Every structure is written in structure tokens, then in C-alpha cells.
Amino acid sequence: MEVSGSGIFDLGLVLLLAAGAGWLARALALPAVVGYLAVGLAISPFTPGYVADREQLAFLADIGVVLLLFEVGIEIDLGRVRREQGAITWAAPLQVIVTTGIAYVVLVAAAVPPLGAAFVALGVAMSSSVVVVNITRSRRRTTDRPTEQAMLGWSLVQDLAGVTLAVILLAVAGAEDRPLPLALAGGAAFAVFAGLAALVLPRVLRELEGEHDLFLIVSVAVGLAVAGVGALVAGIPVALAAFVAGLAIAEGPEAAEVRRRLLPFRDLLAVLFFVVLGSLIDPGALARGLPWLVILVALVVVAKSGVVAILARVTGLRAHPVKLAIGLGQVGEFSFVLASVGVALRVVDAELYAAVLGAVVVTIVGSTTLVRLARREQPVVVPAARDVDSG
């Protein structure tokens, strides 16, 4: 892909605008992501004024979301989650299943094609790991440490459960016109390849620990290569395959070092991802899809946050149930990827797609704002349940 001088200008201008908009959003007590989305809307072809070269920005944003989900995969350490808050390892997957089921029934009843309803419903069930991390690191946060740990752990296990369901859904749907046996065979082949990467990569990185440049190059190269194999062999969206690639090095000290070295690049490309996401919002389609937006936001509040709060109380997590539920009460990068798959398969129309993008904005703003305002209730602790979970 040729990168023109105007494309480089667009990139520099967009990053400067995003930096300014992010700073302004934080000054208004909003997450910087809101500023990035606003910049995307301002430079989109759907609004008057300057229009950036979206093709080149989209290419960089695609790399950004791949590295973003690659890093999210690296973050997952089920052993640590189970030791610290064991109930999350079953409560989060249960929430994903329950939320997806409720959302699916509602969307099918509202005349969404079953396959499209499944993709959107699964997107509703998953939160934004990027936003959750920002909530736990914000200087204005009012959450305590146990709630933050529960929020991070829940989000990571939620991602693992959601991606597993997404891969199964893609295989059953016969994505890319593949017969089911071929799709399952491709998925099995990818699983074997990812397993081999999980065995070999940590050893290679251990040998390269002192070689700072080679360590980073190999880490990123393997992540992109595994993601590419997943897309080619198994027909899995490259962003979801990147998440699986991150799991390949999720154990051991190498994972922490990869995260540390990848973080600056991931943050930069994640900014472009959210800008491009904002540029995809068609105000006209969003206006026509306003009822869908209302339904999606209601599903996030009732079918996700409500279920999280109930499960947090039932399991006796050492966390504030209300703050935990609100902190997880948004949709983000996974929801965008799944809705995009639905559009590609022509089972999600323009109005519903615009509503999903709108729901990303509305729920991120609502979650990050309301989590600071939720009353400071005492965390629910059930000693007996806690002892069982920690065993």
C-alpha cells in the first residue's frame, strides 16, 4: 500500500487533533476515548469540513486493534485470577452466556436475522478492556483496589469466554462460505498452531531478553503472524485471532516484559483505532437507527450491568457490586469487531451497525462518568464463599 505525502499529513494532523481532543475530554472529566471518537466524527465523510484519507488511517487502525487485542490476550492469567478472586472464573463466563442469551432473544424478537442477532448480542455481553483499564488508572477514580482487581479480572475472563463463543459461532455460521467440517478443521489447525507458538515463543523470548530490539520485533512479528494464520486458515477475524495469539505468551515473566515494551505502540495505534471508529459513524444512519441504539443501551444496562451486580453479590466478591457493574457497563473494541463481521456477512444492516457504534460512545461516556458517582457502599464479603473460591 503506497503512503502518500497527504497521507502522512493526515496522520500527523489526526494525532495532533486527537491529543488536543483527549486533553479537552479529560479536562471535562470525560475519558480521552470520547475525544478521539469526536475527532473521527469531525474528519469523517459524513460531516462537513475536512475529510482525512480514511483508507490509510483505517489500515493503521487495523494494525492498532490487532496489537490492542494481542496485548489484551497477553494480560490474561487465569491462575492469578483464580487465586485472587476465584469466583470470577465461572461468574464472568456465566454473565457472558446469560447476557448474550437475553440480548439474542430481544434482537430476534425485534426482527434482526438470527445470525446477526448472535453477533450483536455477543458484542453486548463483552466490555471494553481498554476502558476498564482506564477506569482503574484514572486520577479521578473513586473505586477501591479490590473493586479494581475484580473489574480487571472480570473483563479479562469475559474476553476469553466471548472470543471462545465467537470462534464457535463463526465456525457454525460457515463464515467465508466454508462448509462446517472445513471450518472446524481450520479452527483445529489454528488451535494446534497457536499451541505450538505457546510452547516455543516463551523460550525464544527468554533467550532474547537482553536484546531489546529483537525481543520487541519477535514478539510483534509472532503476534501478527499467528493472527494472520488464524484469519487465513480458520477464517477467524484477524483481530480475534490476535487475541488468541496473545494467549500464546500469557504465562511467565516474558508476558510482562512484552506488555511493557508493546504498550507505547499499542496506545498510539489504539488512538487511531478509536478515531477511525468515530469516522465510521454515519449520523444519518444513526438517526434512522435510534430505536436500535435505545435497545442496545438498555440491554447493556439491564442484561449486562444488572447481571454483573447480581452475580457479584451472589458470589460474595470482595468488590463494590454497583461500581463493578457500572465499570463493566460499556461496549467497545470486541463489539465493533463482531458487528463488522455481521456487516461483512450481510446479517447486520447499516442502521443497526450505526447503532452499535453509537452505543460504544454512549456506554463509554456513561460507564466512565457514573462509576465515579456511584455511592460508596461497603463491598459484599461472604467469608464461606470466599474460602471456597480461593481453594
Residue 386 to residue 336: CA distance in whole angstroms: 35
Q: How far apart are CA 145 and CA 155, in angstroms?
A: 15
Q: What's the pTM value of the predicted model, to 2 decimals?
A: 0.82
The amino acid at residue 326 is I
Distance CA 227, CA 63 (A): 11
The ranges assigned to domains in the chain are 6-158+244-390
- Yes or no: say if 280 and 65 are a contact pair by the CB < 8 Å rule: no
| Owner of C-alpha cell 523470548 | 205
**pLDDT per residue of the chain (391 residues) written in tens, 0 to 9:** 444 556 677 778 888 999 999 999 888 877 788 888 888 888 887 777 666 666 776 676 677 777 777 777 777 776 777 776 778 889 999 999 999 999 999 999 999 999 999 999 999 999 988 888 878 877 777 778 888 888 988 988 898 888 888 878 877 766 456 666 777 777 788 888 888 887 888 788 888 877 877 888 888 788 788 888 888 887 778 878 888 777 766 666 667 777 777 777 777 777 888 888 888 888 888 899 999 999 999 999 999 999 999 999 998 888 889 999 999 999 988 888 899 889 988 899 999 999 999 999 899 888 988 888 765 544 444 443 333 333 3
Under CATH, which number does the domain 6-158+244-390 receive? 1.20.1530.20
H/E stretch holding 167: helix 145-173
* Residue closest to 132 by CA, chosen among 388, 304, 315, 382: 304
